Structure 1
Amino acid sequence: MRRITVPIALLALLGSAVPAAAAQAAPPPSIAWTACDPAEEVPEGVLCATLEVPVDWSRPGGPTIELALAKRPATDPSRRIGSLLINPGGPGGSGVDFAYFSGSAFSPAVTDRFDIVGFDPRGQARSHVVNCDSDLIGAQYTQLYPDNRAEYADLRATNRALALSCRELSGPLVTYVDTASVARDMDAIRAGLGEKRISYYGVSYGTMIGQQYAELFPSRIRALALDSNMDHAQNIAGYQKWESLAMEGSFRQFTSWCDRTEACALHERGALAYFDELYARAEAGELNPDGQPLPPEDLVNIVFGYMYNPNSWFELADTLLYLGQGDGGQTGRGEPVPNGYLPVMCSDFHFDVGAYPVLRAIEQAQNRLAPHTRLNPLAWSDLASCQNWPWKVTNPPHRLRASAELPPILLANSRWDVATPYEWGTSLASQLPSARFLTYDGVGHGTYWRSDCARAAIDTYLVELRTPAKGTHCPAVFPSSPVSAQAVPTVVDPLPQLTGPFRR
Structure 2
Amino acid sequence: MLFRGRPPVRSATVWSTAVVAAAAIATVAGLAVAPDAGAATGNVSAVRWAPCDAPDEPGAECATLEVPVDWAHPDGPTFGLAVARRKATDPDARVGSMVFGPGGPGDSGVDRVVGGISRFSPEVRRRFDIVSFDPRGVGESNPVTCSGDLLAQRPSAELANQAEFDATLRYNSRLRADCRARTGPVSDHLDSAQTVQDLEALRAALGEGQLTFHGSSYGTLLGAQYAETYPRRVRAMVLESVIDHSVSSTRAFLQSGAAAAQDSFDEFVTWCAGHSSCALHGRDIRTIWQGLLDRAHRGELENPAKPGAALSQADLVNKVALRPFYGADYASLATAIAGLQASSPLPASPTSASPLPPATPVFCADWHLPVRDYREYTALVGVMNRTAPDLPRLLPIQMVASCLGAPTTNPQHRLTARGTPPILLSNALHDPATGYPWAASVARQLGRSGVLLTYEGQGHGSVTSGPCMEQAVNDYLIDLTVPPRGTRCPATSS
User: What TM-score, normalized to structure 2?
Assistant: 0.85
Residue 412 of structure 2: aligned partner: 397
Quick one: distance in 2 between partners of 1:397 and 1:35?
39
Q: Tell me which of 123, 129, 149 is aligned to 2:162.
A: 149
Say yes or no: does 1:32 pair with 2:54. Answer: no
Alignment of 1:36-185 (within 5 A): 36=52, 38=53, 41-44=56-59, 46-140=60-154, 142-185=155-198
Cα deviations across residues 396-452 of structure 1 (Å, max 9, x unaligned)?
Answer: 11001121x200110011111121111111111111011110111211111124444
Say yes or no: does 1:232 pair with 2:245. Answer: yes
Alignment of 1:273-284 (within 5 A): 273-283=287-297
Say yes or no: does 1:192 pair with 2:205. Answer: yes
Cα deviations across residues 139-187 of structure 1 (Å, max 9, x unaligned)?
Answer: 33x5112122222222222222222221122111111010011010000
Cα deviations across residues 447-486 of structure 1 (Å, max 9, x unaligned)?
Answer: 124444322221221111112221111222343xxxxxxx
Quick one: distance in 2 between partners of 1:189 and 1:150?
47
Structure 2 unaligned residues grouped into runs of 5+: 1-32, 347-356
- Distance 1:285-1:94 versus aligned 2 partners, 3 A rule: closer
Q: Tell me which of 375, 382, 388 is aligned to 2:399.
A: 382
- Distance 1:281-1:42 versus aligned 2 partners, 3 A rule: closer
Quick one: distance in 2 between partners of 1:350 and 1:219?
29
Which amino acid in 1 is paired with 2:457? G
User: What TM-score, normalized to structure 1?
Assistant: 0.83
Cα deviations across residues 378-399 of structure 1 (Å, max 9, x unaligned)?
Answer: 211221110122xx21111100
Cα deviations across residues 309-352 of structure 1 (Å, max 9, x unaligned)?
Answer: 123x2221222122222223xxxxxxxxxx99521011011123
Residue 346 of structure 1: aligned partner: 364
Give the CA RMSD over aligned residues: 2.4
- Distance 1:341-1:293 versus aligned 2 partners, 3 A rule: closer
Q: Tell me which of 431, 440, 448 is aligned to 2:455.
A: 440
Residue 314 of structure 1: aligned partner: 331
Deviation at 1:79, TM superposition (A): 1.9
Q: Is the 8 A contact 1:102 1:116 kept in 2?
A: no
Deviation at 1:193, TM superposition (A): 1.2
Deviation at 1:230, TM superposition (A): 0.5
Larger mean Cα displacement after TM superposition, 234-243 or 205-214: 234-243
Q: Is the 8 A contact 2:39 2:74 kept in 1?
A: no
Structure 1 unaligned residues grouped into runs of 5+: 1-10, 329-338, 480-504
Say yes or no: does 1:464 pair with 2:486. Answer: no
Partner SS state of residue 185, structure 1: helix
Residue 388 of structure 2: aligned partner: 370
Quick one: distance in 2 between partners of 1:455 and 1:161?
47
Give the fraction of aligned pairs with identical amino acids, expressed as a percent: 40
Residue 228 of structure 2: aligned partner: 215
Quick one: distance in 2 between partners of 1:319 and 1:428?
36
Partner SS state of residue 440, structure 2: helix
How many residues are paired up?
A: 445
Which amino acid in 1 is paired with 2:486? G
Residue 440 of structure 2: aligned partner: 426
Quick one: distance in 2 between partners of 1:91 and 1:300?
20
